[in-house]
Structure 1
Amino acid sequence: MSDDLVLYSLDGCPYCQKVHDALDDLGLDYETRWVEGLHSTRNEVKRVSGQRAVPVLVDDDRGVTMAESANIVEYVEKTLAPAVDA
């Protein structure tokens, strides 16, 4: 799988953990970029996604950047899972 998956995440965030679990369950390779707890310091997340909330998934292979854990999990299951099975 691609090394171009990046998950912006906050330690202890249950929404972020939900996304980590989905990626791990599928055995996907991804990089986690841990962010600070203070929203105002999340400049890299703001730069890539236009907002400072996490989780944010960046899939460079497909040109996709998305937020909201439910949307990310759905994307992972519908788009990335078939690539793992292929």
Structure 2
Amino acid sequence: MADITLYDLPGCPFCAMVRTKLDDLGLDYDTIEVPRSHRNRTEVQEVSGQTGVPVITDETTGVEGMPESSDIIEYLEETYGDDAA
């Protein structure tokens, strides 16, 4: 089991951008496919407080339920990219 988990919806362009960044950085991650219906997205809601995707968790750094693709991509770059501290 990887430290990073991505809550994902196939066909979601914002999820695809996050998957691409994870792959570009060579990071191992698990994917949890959420239901298409927001009403049935209880697991992602428990993690992030909302039903939108993408959402990630990262056990390495203690991130629990980070939403918004642009925030996730920025976080991944800052944490795991070439210029990461």
Decide: shared fold, TM above 0.5. yes
Is 1:79 the counterpart of 2:79? The answer is: yes
Q: TM-score, normalised by structure 2?
A: 0.91
One-letter code of the match for 1:24?
Answer: D
Q: Once the two structures are superposed, what CA deviation does each residue of 1:40-84 show, in whole Å capped at 9, x if it has no partner?
A: 00000011111110000100111113100000000001112259x
Q: Any stretches of 5+ residues in structure 1 without a counterpart?
A: none
Residue 16 of structure 1 aligns to a residue whose secondary structure is helix
Q: Any stretches of 5+ residues in structure 2 without a counterpart?
A: none
Separation (CA, whole Å) in 1 of partners of 2:20 and 2:43: 23
Residue 6 of structure 1 aligns to a residue whose secondary structure is strand
Separation (CA, whole Å) in 1 of partners of 2:2 and 2:55: 16
Q: Once the two structures are superposed, what CA deviation does each residue of 1:16-48 show, in whole Å capped at 9, x if it has no partner?
A: 000000000111000010011100000000111
> 1:61 is matched with which residue?
60
Separation (CA, whole Å) in 2 of partners of 1:59 and 1:82: 18
The 5 A counterparts of 1:1-86 are 3-65=2-64, 66-82=66-82
Q: TM-score, normalised by structure 1?
A: 0.90
Q: Which runs of 4+ in 1 moved over 3 A?
A: none
One-letter code of the match for 1:17?
Answer: A
| Structure with more helix by fraction | 1
